Structure 1
Amino acid sequence: MSRRRPTPDDLNPYVALTDTALNFILLMVFFVAALTAVGRVSWEDVRYKEAQKVFQQAVERMIPARQQPRANGGKNDPPGTQRWVFRNSALFEPGRATLSRTGRVTLNQFAKVLRTNKNTWRRIRVEGHTLPTQNRSGDRWEEATDRAAAVARYLVSRGDIAPYYIATSGRGGQSPLPDTALTDPAHARIEIVLEYAKQSASDAGAP
């Protein structure tokens, strides 16, 4: 004799109600957690997007295409960070840490954009990069640091950017460009990193 399959009338209503309530609570917890996570990321991204867009448009308008830095969004930077990549060949005399004439003109224009938009950013980091470090080759931190310092000094002395907004870093060859041959001269570069924040450079003043 086969057993009769249970019908809806045989189910314990309290068990069914408990299962429904538990599923509802789990759904609400997931929904709130998702909103919180998305809200944090999206709000931080949207918060600075318009300021970064305005800055990029100004760079594209004021610096000729051949000398123009490119915005690098591929780094794993926190929200509110914008990187500008300058080829060494666009800023420096060949093989030296001395700014070329065209490099000085380019930095003058970039500094002008910084001053015009100082109500949106709060700090600047100037990073020097060289060709990637390979086996049995030393890292050229001094070379990278000297070039970063030259750019920072020029932004202060000729670009009228207060020094307490600027930090420098000599990264050597430790941060190569993605999808680029190790011997490509493009690795030798300066990256100017802008940190945007609610408190801007014009509001913060000297620390």
Structure 2
Amino acid sequence: MRRLSSQDGVEVNPYIALADNGLSMVMVMTLFTVMVLLAILQKEDTRKDVREEFYDRVIQAFPEQQRPQMLDYKVKNDPPGAQRWVFKDQVLFIRGTAKLTPHGQQLLSKFADLMAQNTDKWRRARIEGHTMPTELNKPDNWDLANARASTVAKLFTDNSCAIRANSISTSGRGGQSKALGLARSDQRNERVEIILEYSALSASDKTDQKRDCN
């Protein structure tokens, strides 16, 4: 095996030298990774306080009988810390249509007001439209599901100069997801679910969410 000679005459095994260098590199990368994870966790803890504050404001704003529920489960595409809200015990739409009932419009407008007052906290809002559960061998009603999500998005952005369209996205889930705790025939399955994402706002995000009310 070929060896390298150091200045003091001691022979050095090149493989040992490479192993030492490799170990040092691994330790540096490990330390860097730990520091990044700690920074992310610290930011997440900060956003946790923000989420809890918004939750408290929702609880205070709505009478118990009309209050939206924050679901305690996450869907595959929900980012960490997202809140999924639904007016589970309310009929929001005229059955079979994307037209809101007067009561549904009142409830969603109040929720929009809370979102508008807290645009410095949430980053994005996704609105999912749902129809009655799909019957066996029948197609999902994608058009109606999408129309419901669009109706709510339009209400949010039209009723408040603080909520910009580029902070909202919509999707239709058809009848794929029955509301938990409801029978398949229950009209309250015809709903929207509002997913608020709380990743930290950048300076450009804050600027984008500001809207000229004049």
Any gaps of 5 or more consecutive residues in structure 2? 1-30, 210-214
Identity %: 36
Q: Distance in 1 between matches of 2:158 and 2:178?
A: 30
Cα 1:94–1:174, aligned 2, differ >3 Å: closer, same or farther?
A: closer
Cα 1:166–1:141, aligned 2, differ >3 Å: closer, same or farther?
A: same
8 Å CA contact 1:125, 1:194 repeated in 2: yes
1:187 aligns with 2:189: yes
Q: Distance in 2 between matches of 1:179 and 1:62?
A: 25
Instruction: Measure how far apart 1:75 and its partner are.
Output: 1.5
Q: 1:98 is matched with which residue?
A: 99
Q: Distance in 1 between matches of 2:105 and 2:189?
A: 21
Instruction: Measure how far apart 1:154 and its partner are.
Output: 0.5
The equivalences for 1:48-197 within 5 A come to 48-76=47-75, 77-87=78-88, 89-160=90-161, 161-178=163-180, 180-197=182-199
1:205 aligns with 2:208: yes
Cα 1:78–1:191, aligned 2, differ >3 Å: closer, same or farther?
A: same
Q: TM-score, normalised by structure 2?
A: 0.69
Any gaps of 5 or more consecutive residues in structure 1? 1-31
In angstroms, what is the RMSD of aligned CA positions? 3.2
Q: TM-score, normalised by structure 1?
A: 0.71
Deviations 1:118-160 (A, max 9, x none): 1111111110012333420110111111111111111111133
AA of the residue aligned to 1:194 = L
8 Å CA contact 1:91, 1:103 repeated in 2: yes
Q: Distance in 1 between matches of 2:132 and 2:39?
A: 37
Q: Distance in 2 between matches of 1:80 and 1:204?
A: 23
Q: Distance in 2 between matches of 1:71 and 1:149?
A: 21
Number of residue-to-residue matches in the alignment = 178
Structure 2 SS opposite 1:48 = helix
Cα 1:147–1:162, aligned 2, differ >3 Å: closer, same or farther?
A: same
Structure 2 SS opposite 1:93 = coil
AA of the residue aligned to 2:54 = F
Higher deviation after alignment, 182-191 or 107-116: 182-191
Instruction: Measure how far apart 1:162 and its partner are.
Output: 1.2
